[in-house]
Structure 1
Amino acid sequence: MTVTIYHNPACGTSRNTLGLIRNSGTEPVVVEYLKTPPDRALLQALIARMGLPVRAVLRRKGTPHDALGLDDPSLPDDQLLDAMLAHPILIERPIVVTPLGAKLCRPSETVLDILPDAQHGAFAKEDGAAVVDAAGARVRAAP
């Protein structure tokens, strides 16, 4: 069983997601996509597998998004993909692929929906927020 995370180690959400994967006893394939960006075919396949529109995988914060005029709703998907390929920082993260599916894991605990193995104990995010309790059960936020 292979679990792959498209990861940015400078991103707290990505680090928390990686921690949750490892807390399930799985050592994933870690792709630092800023160093090793996906090619067009892989990026399109990941987006399709997640069932998201291309624009939903386009990151704005800390990127050249605005300078490139990517807010324009008339831009076709091909142009958005071109921008992400030219500037991988525009790819929202983390993306996780498991045998159960692919997800853009924001917030990080959404990775729990596609991990094949249960959590092996408590897990808290870097900010201290509990995600998994000592029994390995997901902690749900109060409504």
Structure 2
Amino acid sequence: MTVTIYHNPQCGTSRNTLALIRNAGIEPRVVEYLVAPPDRATLTSLFARAGMSVRDALREKGTPYAELGLGDPALTDDQLIDAMLAHPILINRPFVETPLGVRLCRPSELVIDILPSPQQGPFAKEDGEVVIDEKGQRVR
């Protein structure tokens, strides 16, 4: 069973998602996509399997989005992917791929729905928000 996270260790949401995967007893394949960006085919597949448009997978905050004029609605998906390949910081994060599906895990607890194993203990995000209680139940 392979679980892959497209991870940015500088991102709290990505760190929380990785921790939730590990809290389920899974050691995922970690792809630091800023260091080793996925190729065009992988990006296209991830977005499609997550049920997202390319534009929905595009990150604006903390990126060159505005400087590159990526808000222009006339830009094609290929042009947006070209920008993501040239500037991987434009890829929203974290994407997680499991045997149960692909998801953009924002918020991080969305990963729970696609993990093949249940959470193995309580879990709180870095900010202290409890996600899994001491009974192993998801807090909503």
Q: For residue 63 of structure 1, what is the aligned residue in structure 2?
A: 63
CA RMSD of aligned residues (A): 0.5
Q: For residue 114 of structure 2, what is the aligned residue in structure 1?
A: 114
Counterparts in 2 of 1:118-133, with a 5 A limit?
118-133=118-133
By how many angstroms is 1:41 displaced?
0.8
Q: For residue 17 of structure 2, what is the aligned residue in structure 1?
A: 17
Is the partner of 2:96 in helix, strand or coil? strand
Q: For residue 93 of structure 2, what is the aligned residue in structure 1?
A: 93
One-letter amino acid of the structure 1 residue matched with residue 129 of structure 2: A
Aligned residues: 140
Distance 1:61 1:126 in 2: 20
Distance 2:136 2:111 in 1: 14
By how many angstroms is 1:74 displaced?
1.2
Q: How big is each residue's C-alpha offset from its partner over 1:11-31, in whole Å with a ceiling of 9 and x where there is no partner?
A: 000000000000000000000
Distance 1:133 1:119 in 2: 10
One-letter amino acid of the structure 2 residue matched with residue 48 of structure 1: A
Q: How big is each residue's C-alpha offset from its partner over 1:36-66, in whole Å with a ceiling of 9 and x where there is no partner?
A: 0001111111111111000010000110000
Q: For residue 47 of structure 2, what is the aligned residue in structure 1?
A: 47
By how many angstroms is 1:136 displaced?
1.4
TM-score (norm 1): 0.97
TM-score (norm 2): 0.99
Structure 2: 5+ residue runs without aligned partners? none
Q: For residue 104 of structure 2, what is the aligned residue in structure 1?
A: 104
Is the partner of 1:96 in helix, strand or coil? strand
Structure 1: 5+ residue runs without aligned partners? none
Distance 1:33 1:57 in 2: 14
One-letter amino acid of the structure 1 residue matched with residue 126 of structure 2: E
One-letter amino acid of the structure 1 residue matched with residue 77 of structure 2: D
Q: Any conservation in 2 of the 1:120–1:135 contact (CA below 8 Å)?
A: no
By how many angstroms is 1:104 displaced?
0.2
One-letter amino acid of the structure 2 residue matched with residue 5 of structure 1: I
Distance 2:28 2:86 in 1: 26
